[in-house]
Structure 1
Amino acid sequence: MGLAILYLHQHFSTPDGATATRAYNHATALAEAGHAVTLACGRYAGGATGLDGPFRHGQRRGEVAGFELVEFDLPYGNAQPLARRSLVFLRYAIAASHLALARRWDLIIASSTPPTVAIPALLARRLRGTPFLFEIRDPWPELPAALSKPGDGVPGPVLGAIGRLVDAACRQAATVVALTEGMARTALARGTDPDRLRVLPQGADLALFGPDARPWRPEGVGAQEMLAVYAGAHGRANGLGVLLDAAARLRGTGIRILLVGDGAEKPALMARATAEDLPVTFLAPLPKRRLAGLLAGADVGLLCLAPVPEFAEWTAPNKLAECLAAGLPVVANVPGRAQRLLAEGACGLSVPPGDADGLAAALLAMADDPARRRIMGRAARRLAERYFDTRQIAARLVATVEAVAGHATQARALAP
C-alpha cells in the first residue's frame, strides 16, 4: 500500500521552467513507486508548475506527472528585497502548515531553502506525530551569514532565529538529506544523528542533457567562435563580474562568453559589456529543454561563484551537473568539491576564485586545442553517468522515504 506524502518545496518547477527540477524528479519517482504525493509550492520566478487555472482562495490545484500539485499564490523572485522575500517565506510556511495539519500524512518532506519549510513539518510532528525528512539544499544560516557584510544582509537576530529552527529540524527529522558532504557536516554540527544522515547529490536528466539534444546557437554567435556558456543566477553570490574581466582579455581571440539567466546584477553586467564592447552575449532564462540544445551547441561550460571560501563545500550547482551531462568540458573558479570532481574526471580546468587572468588563460587553452576539448567532453559525460544521473538519485530518495516510513510505522506499533 502506498504512502501519503506531503512534499514541501517552495521553489518548484517542471522541465518547462528555467530553474532546478529536483523536486519534480523526486515527486515523479515517488508517484511512480505507487505513493500518493501532494507537493506544495509557491510561484517562483523562472519556474513553470504546469498549472494554468485561476487561483481560488489563494491557491490552485491540479495533477502533474502523476502527483497532486498545490500552488499557493505567493510570487517570489531572487531580485525581490530581503524584507519582501522574508515575508513570502513566512506566508508559505503558514499556508503549508494548514495543509500539513489538514489530514494525516505518513511522511512529510521539507526541502530547504527556505529553512522556514521546517515550520509545518515540526508542527505536524508535534501535533500529529508525523515523521518528516528534512532536505538541505543550501546550508542556512551558514551560507547567508558568510555572504553578509556589516550593515548589509540578513540581520544577526534573524540568523540566530533561523539557526534555532534548523537545529530543531536537524535533531527531530527522521532523516536529513544533504546535497554535499560539506552540507552534511553542517547538519551533524546542528545535532543530526549520523545514522539518520544521507547525501544525495544534485543531478541532471541524462536523457534531456545528452547526445539526442538538438544543438543551436543564439543569433549573432558565429559558428567558428568557441562558445563558453554560463547558465544560472546573476546575483552578487555568483560573482559574474570576473567573467567580464576575463572577456576583456579575450577580445579578438574568437572566444565568446554567453550568460544565460537573470538576477539583480544582470542590468549592470549588460551595461558594462556594451560600454566596453566585450565579446559577451546575454540571454534570458531558458526552459530546460531549450537549455539542453544550447549546451549541445556550445564548446565549454562555465561554473562561476564569488570568492567566498564557504562556497567550496557548501554549494551544489545544478549547472555543473547539466554541463557534464551535456558532454561539455568545464572551466570553473570554484575550489573544493567542484575542483575535485573536475580533476577526478579529467573533464575541466579549475582556476582560483576571482582570477580573471586564470579564467582567460583557461579559455584560451580550450580554444587552442579542440581535440582536448572533445576528450574532456567525453570524460564529462562519463562522470555525469557515474555520479549525477537524476533517475538513480531519485531512486535512492524513494528508498530512503520508504525506509523512514517503515521505521515510523514500526515505532508506532511498538509504542505503549
Structure 2
Amino acid sequence: MRIVYLHQYFTTPAQSGGTRSYEFARRLADRGHDVHVITSTRNAGDHGGQWSTRETSGFTVHARHVPYDNSMGSLQRVRAFVTFAVVSAARARSLKGEVVFATSTPLTIFLPAWFATLGRRTPIVFEVRDSWPTVPIALGYLSHPVARWLARRLEHFAYARSAKIVALSPGMREDAAEQGADPQKISVIPNAADVSMFDVPDAVGVRWRRDHGIDVDAPLIVYTGTFGAANEVEYLVDVAREAAALDARTVFALIGSGAREAAVRSRAEDYGLLGKTVRVMPPVPKAEMPAVFSAADVATSVVTNNPAMNANSANKFFDSLAAGRAIAINHEGWQADLIRSHDVGLVLERDDLRAAAHQLLGLIADRARLAQVHRRARDLARSEFDRDVLARQLAEVLENAREGRSGSVRERARIVR
C-alpha cells in the first residue's frame, strides 16, 4: 500500500538527530510498501523554496525548506510549524496515500494529514512523540489562555479523527487517554535500539578517546542531544564540578547544540572546567554515534525538573542500551523503572549533586559491576527494544488501519507496566 509519512524534522544517519522515521520508513519499504516521506530542510537556501524529491533506502523523500533551529523564540517556532503545515498539505493530498502516518512533534503535523484525507476514506495514524501540549504548558511555553485552548482543541481534534494512535511511552499513552483518545486505538511503540549499528569493537571507542585527547582510563560520562530548556544540560555541569573534586581525571563530554549551549559553556567556564572536565562538542551524525558510545563508561539522558518530562522516550536512552553502556538519568518515570528493574544504570539524585557524582564514579570504579551493567544493557536492547521487532509492530498498526481492523497492537507487558 502507499503510505504518506509526514514528519517535519526527518533525519538520516548522515545527519545529527534521531533517525526513527528513517529506520521505520526503510523497513516499511522492505515490507513491500510504497513509502513517501514529507519533510522540511532547515539550511538556508535549500531547494530555493521549491519541493525536492529524492529516493533513499527504498522510499521517496519530499522536502521543502522551512527555517528552524532550537534557538528560535516561541513565535518563530510556531511560525515554522504553521508554515510547514500549510505548504505540506497539498503535497500530502496529491500523493493519494492509502494511509497517512503523521508523527509529532509539532502537533500541527496533524493538519496536513487531515487535509490530505478530507472527503476521502483514507485513515490517519497519529504518532505522539511527546505529550503535546501537556509538556509545553507544564514548562510555561504555552502561557496564554487562548494559545492553550487552541492547542488542546487541536489535540482533541487529532485524537478524534485518527484511526490509530502510536505513543512512544506508557506515560504518553496515559496522557492521550486522559485527553479523550480512545485507549483501544493506542499502541505503545517506544524508541528503538539499533543493536547491530552500535555493536562495534572496543578499539573504536579507544580511538575516539585518543582523537579527542581523553585518557583511555579516564572516567568518561557522555551526553548527546539537544541543549534546550527542556533538557537542562546545566545539571550535568553541576555534577561535573562535584565529580572533578572526587577524581580530577573525570571527563563529561557534552555533545550537541541548542538554545542553552551558551549557558552550558558559561557555567562550565565559571567553574573553571570548560575544556578540561567538561568538553562541549558539536553534534555528530548518527552514523558516528557508535564510536562516541563505545568510548563512554556511562551515557546520560537528563531533563528539566518537571513531572511532565517523566514520560519522555529519548533516543539517547536506547542508543545507550544498544551500545551496551550504562545509562544514567535524573528523573522518574518508566525509564527509571526499567533501569532499576534490569540494573542497567543509575537514577541520579536530582537535588544532591555530590551524591550524583558519587553514584557515577562509584559505578565506573567498580569495573566488574560496570561490565555486568553493560552486558545487561545490551541484553535488554535485544530482548525488548530491537528496531526490527518494533518496526513490525508499526507496520501492523498501519496495515490494520488500512484494513479497518480495530484494537491496538499488543505490547510486551514489561514495557507497558
TM norm structure 2: 0.91
* Residue of structure 2 in register with 1:406 after alignment: 403
- Classify 1:309/1:42 alpha carbon distance in 2 versus 1 (closer, same or farther; 3 Å): same
Tell me which residue corresponds to 2:137: 145
Q: Give how far 1:163 is off.
A: 1.1
Match of 2:392 in 1: 395
**Conserved in 2, the CA contact under 8 Å of 1:303 and 1:334?**
no
In 2, distance between residues paired with 1:392 and 1:56?
39
Cα pair 1:303 1:331 within 8 Å, conserved: yes
Q: Structure 2: which 5+ residue stretches go unaligned?
A: 406-417
Aligned counterpart for 1:246 among listed residues 239, 245, 255: 239
Closer, same or farther: CA 198–12 of 1 in aligned 2, 3 Å: same
CA spacing shift, 1:250–1:194, aligned 2, 3 Å: closer
- More contact order relative to length (CA 8 Å, sep ≥ 6): 2
Q: CA deviation at 1:229?
A: 0.4
Displacement of 1:168 after TM fit? 1.1
Aligned partner (choices 116, 119, 124) of residue 108 of structure 2: 116
The CA distance in 2 between the partners of 1:170 and 1:153, in whole Å, is 20
Confirm or deny: 8 A CA contact 1:305 1:353 kept in the other structure.
Answer: no
- Asked if the contact 1:255–1:367 (Cα under 8 Å) also holds between the matched residues in 2, the reply is no
Counterpart Cα distance in 2 of 1:330 and 1:224: 19
**C-alpha contact (below 8 Å) 2:6/2:39 kept by paired residues:** yes
Match for 2:320: what amino acid?
C
Pairwise CA distance, 1:274:
2.5
Choose 186-195 or 368-377, whichever is displaced more. Answer: 186-195
How far did 1:169 drift?
Answer: 1.0
Letter in 1 for 2:264: L
Distance 1:292 1:96 in 2: 34
* Letter aligned with residue 21 of structure 1: T
Q: Aligned partners of 2:124, 2:299: CA distance in 1, in Å?
A: 37
Match of 2:319 among 315, 319, 322: 322
| Aligned equivalent of 2:256 | 261
Q: Deviations over 1:249-268 (max 9, x none)?
A: 12250221110100111112
Alignment CA distance shift 1:340-1:169 (3 Å): same
Alignment of 1:73-222 (within 5 A): 73-148=65-140, 153-212=142-201, 214-215=204-205, 216-217=208-209, 218-222=211-215
In 1: Cα distance, 2:58 partner to 2:88 partner: 21
Report deviation, 1:40: 0.5
Q: CA deviation at 1:232?
A: 1.1
Alpha-carbon contact 2:14-2:285 (below 8 Å) kept: yes
Query: 1:381 is matched with which residue?
Result: 378
8 A Cα contact 2:227 2:261, kept in partner: yes
Distance of 1:403 and 1:56 partners within structure 2: 39
Query: Structure 1: how far apart are the matches of 2:81 and 2:118?
Result: 21
> Of 273, 276, 280, which residue of structure 1 is paired with 2:271?
276
Q: Which runs of 5+ in 1 are unaligned?
A: 46-52, 409-416
How many residue pairs get aligned? The number is: 397
Tell me the residue number matched to 1:411: none
Query: How many Å apart are 1:364 and its aligned residue?
Result: 2.0
Question: Pairwise CA RMSD of aligned residues?
Answer: 2.0
Q: Determine the structure 1 residue equivalent to 2:40.
A: 42
Compared CA separation, residues 354 and 7, structure 1 to 2 (3 A)? farther
Counting aligned pairs with the same residue, the percent is: 31
1:7-18 maps to which residues of 2 (within 5 A)? 7-18=5-16
Query: 2-side partners of 1:355 and 1:95: how far apart?
Result: 48
CA distances 1:314-360 after superposition (whole Å, capped 9, x unpaired):
21011000011111112221111111010121111112334322321
How far 1:153 sits from its partner (Å)? 4.8
Indicate which of 343, 347, 353 corresponds to 1:356.
353
Distance, in Å, in 1 between the alignment partners of 2:42 and 2:359 is 35
User: What secondary structure sits across from 2:226 in the alignment?
Assistant: coil
- With the length of structure 1 as denominator, give the TM-score of the two structures: 0.91
Aligned to 1:296: 294
